[in-house]
């Protein structure tokens, strides 16, 4: 149900946003397979697409009974720099953030994504005279905390939505240490997060009605 909810959000977001950057939403099996089998478990995922074609890559993660996400930002810009002639080794930084509504440290998940990106980068840019990995900044971003232990999936979708919509403002606020902007009510909309379950039910009914015609 959570995977469906994220797919539904992605569909609605793309339909409503004229200025949306290129975005890829993966399945939660991406991290599950990576943990179990390493890179070989997900190598075939990118046969028909490249992570460096996207501004954002959203990765939902299911850990035991909890949902959270990692988001890759800036891979496309990094690839554009790597493809330039002459080659400039100082690429734009790729950011990998984790968003967890229980504020749990997710360094290991971000490291997993970072390893995957470095392998994909080496495969796609093998001809570089100077072999360097793209610079990657990995960090956790604090988000509205869920008030219970059963709405993690809904909060994950809500927080992904708010971050994608306000990514520039959020990242600039973090870089500048501006907690007023970062914690501003218009950014994360705690009030909407509290109604995420009811809103999701409405979206599902609308989806079912539109696809039953």
Element (H or E) spanning 182, and its range? helix 179-182
User: Taking 90 as the threshold, does the pLDDT of residue 179 lie above it?
Assistant: no
User: Taking 80 as the threshold, does the pLDDT of residue 201 lie above it?
Assistant: no
Higher pLDDT, 12 or 204: 12
* Contact present, 99 and 160 (Cβ < 8 Å): yes
Q: What are the boundaries of each domain within the chain? A: 2-210
> Token pair for residue 97?
């953030």
- Provide, rounded to the nearest whole percent, the portion of the chain with pLDDT above 90: 39
For residues 68 and 102, what is the distance between their CA atoms, to the nearest angstrom? Answer: 9
Higher pLDDT, 30 or 175: 30
How many contiguous H segments (helices) and E segments (strands) does the chain have? 10, 5
Compute the mean pLDDT over every residue in the chain, rounded to the nearest whole number. 82
The superfamily CATH assigns to domain 2-210 is: Adenoviral Proteinase; Chain A (3.40.395.10)
* Contact present, 102 and 152 (Cβ < 8 Å): yes
What is this structure's pTM? Answer: 0.83
For residues 15 and 27, what is the distance between their CA atoms, to the nearest angstrom? Answer: 20
For residues 185 and 147, what is the distance between their CA atoms, to the nearest angstrom? Answer: 17
């Amino acid at each position: 149900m959570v995977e469906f909810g994220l797919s539904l959000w992605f569909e609605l977001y793309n339909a409503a946003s004229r200025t949306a950057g290129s975005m890829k939403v993966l399945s939660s099996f991406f991290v599950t397979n990576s943990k179990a089998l390493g890179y070989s478990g997900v190598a075939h995922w990118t046969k028909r697409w490249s992570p460096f074609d996207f501004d954002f890559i959203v990765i939902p993660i299911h850990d035991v009974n909890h949902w959270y996400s990692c988001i890759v930002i800036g891979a496309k810009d990094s690839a554009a720099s790597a493809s330039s002639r002459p080659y400039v080794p100082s690429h734009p930084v790729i950011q990998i953030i984790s968003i967890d509504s229980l504020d749990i440290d997710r360094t290991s998940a971000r490291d997993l994504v970072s390893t995957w990106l470095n392998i994909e980068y080496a495969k796609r840019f093998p001809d570089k005279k100077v072999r360097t990995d793209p610079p990657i900044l990995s960090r956790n971003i604090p988000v509205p905390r869920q008030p219970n232990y059963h709405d993690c999936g809904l909060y994950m979708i809500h927080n992904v939505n708010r971050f994608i919509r306000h990514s520039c403002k959020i990242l600039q606020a973090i870089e500048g240490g501006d907690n007023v902007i970062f914690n501003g009510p218009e950014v994360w909309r705690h009030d909407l997060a509290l109604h995420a379950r009811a809103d999701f039910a409405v979206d599902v009914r609308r989806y079912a009605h539109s696809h039953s015609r």
